[in-house]
Amino acid sequence: MRSPRPSARLLHPLALALALGACVGTASDSSAPGDEPCADFEVQVETYWSASVRAEVMNQGGELEVEKRAGVVTKMDRISEDWVMMRTAVCKDHFARQLITKQEYAARVRCFDDRLERQRTLATALAGEGELASVEGALDELLAAPPSCDTTQD
């Protein structure tokens, strides 16, 4: 009967190589310029518009308003997705691609963060006792982004 030692000796260098590869991969990922400042914008949105808030909104009101609430939830989802996409793009334009100045970046971030704050206010109203009709109107205004939020401006 053979001892399990030879296979154990083979696994040790393999485990060492995998661990070393993981460390090298982590080191190269963390030193990539421009990536860190543009990470986790989804987390910011999740603090205002999460699955639990979405479910709470859908459970409010009577059966007659379910279709309207579903439309509002869809708009809020779209606003969240757009915010993450635009915020990431402008961040990468400044930090990774160096296409915009620090001042342009700051102005756009203020615009995006203002939109996110307005979305938070609407989410709070929806989850509470806010009137669905007034929230729908405010959402339409929020969907029409002001020109200062256009990430394609020169």
Q: Residue 88's closest CA among 142, 34, 32, 46?
A: 34
pLDDT tens digits, one per residue of 13-29 = 433 333 333 333 333 34
Do the Cβ atoms of 150 and 113 come closer than 8 Å? no
Question: Mind listing the pLDDT tens digit for each residue in 107-119?
Answer: 999 988 888 988 8
- Judge if 40 and 80 occupy the same domain: yes
Together in a domain, 42 and 116: yes
DSSP SS3 for 31: coil
Domain check: are 3 and 44 in the same one?
no
- Residue by residue, what is the 3-state secondary structure of 92-111? HHHHCCCCCCHHHHHHHHHH
Contact criterion met (CB below 8 Å) for 69 and 132: yes
Q: What single letter denotes the amino acid at residue 34?
A: G
The answer to whether residues 91 and 62 touch, using CB atoms and an 8 Å cutoff, is no
Q: Examine residue 15 and state whether it is found in any structural domain, yes or no.
A: yes
Range(s) of the domain holding residue 4: 1-31
pLDDT above 90 (res 33): no
Structurally, the chain folds into a number of domains equal to 2
Which pTM was predicted?
A: 0.67
